[in-house]
Amino acid sequence: MDMKRVLLKLSGEALAGEKKTGFDEATVIRASEQIKAVAEEGIEVAVVIGGGNFWRGRTSETIDRSKADQIGMLATIMNCIYVSEICRYVGLQTEIFTPFLCGTFTRMYSKDEAEKALKSGKIVFFAGGTGHPYFSTDTATVLRAVEIEADAILLAKAVDGIYDSDPKVNPDAVKYDEISIQEVVDKKLAAMDLTASIMCMENKMPMLVFGLEEDNSIVNTVHGKFSGTRVTVS
């Protein structure tokens, strides 16, 4: 697959490394150096980051779901600001967009402005999800990938691919090397939430799912040398 523009989805949990919460700076630096290597090949990179290293609102039954999701949106903004700064530390230029006003921390999302930033060589971060409750960062990932006409979604997770069942629960879970998005939807496999998977299917957005912790995982995935799961859309 010839890639000129990709949307990289980073799992918040993966960024936390072995700590399982917050940031593991060494992990983030390694990811940022790989983003730099990909960008230096002339590939335009946009990034969405989950918020699971800080907040998982669906595990809380004591507060309103909409409010829980708003906290999750803020968690993704914290993650994007942090990773953006680490990207700058390794020598990249960045821009952070949110779908709602966030003071002077970020810029209001506009497809035209995001396009300009990507074409100028900046790493573009889409923070704050879709800006609405009941939609996950998975859905925001597919939405932005479709809007910016990315060639593929690179889904970097704490798990190294798509399995037929949860490998954390079932030690006999089997990993798929390749699977169609139709099968992902039909079997309700947990690569992404179902809304995001259906959007991928309807918009024919291919996806490469891999473990962030593997050595040089982002660069290898861009070059087609990875041991994760390829999700086809034909």
Question: What is the torsional sign of CA 120, 125, 130, 136?
Answer: positive
pLDDT tens digits, 167-206: 889 989 999 999 999 999 999 998 889 999 999 999 999 9
Find out whether 218 and 28 touch, Cβ atoms under 8 Å. no
Mark out the alpha helices in the chain (DSSP H runs).
12-16, 25-39, 65-89, 111-119, 137-147, 181-186, 194-203, 217-222
* pLDDT band for position 14 (cuts 50, 70, 90): confident
Helix (H, G, I), strand (E, B) or coil at 36: helix
Provide the CA 202 distance to its chain's centre, in angstroms: 19
- Average of pLDDT values for 9-38? 92
Q: Give the per-residue pLDDT at 106.
A: 97
**What is the share, in percent, of the chain residues with pLDDT greater than 70?**
100
Residue matched to tokens 């799912």: 209
pLDDT tens digits, 121-173: 999 999 999 999 999 999 999 999 999 999 999 999 988 999 999 888 998 99
Q: Give the per-residue pLDDT at 168.
A: 86
Question: Is residue 1's pLDDT more than 80?
Answer: no
224 φ/ψ angles, rounded to the nearest 5 degrees: 80, 10
Confidence (pTM): 0.95
d(CA 144, CA 169): 32
Q: Give the per-residue pLDDT at 17.
A: 84
Residues making up the chain, counted from first to last: 234
Helix (H, G, I), strand (E, B) or coil at 67: helix
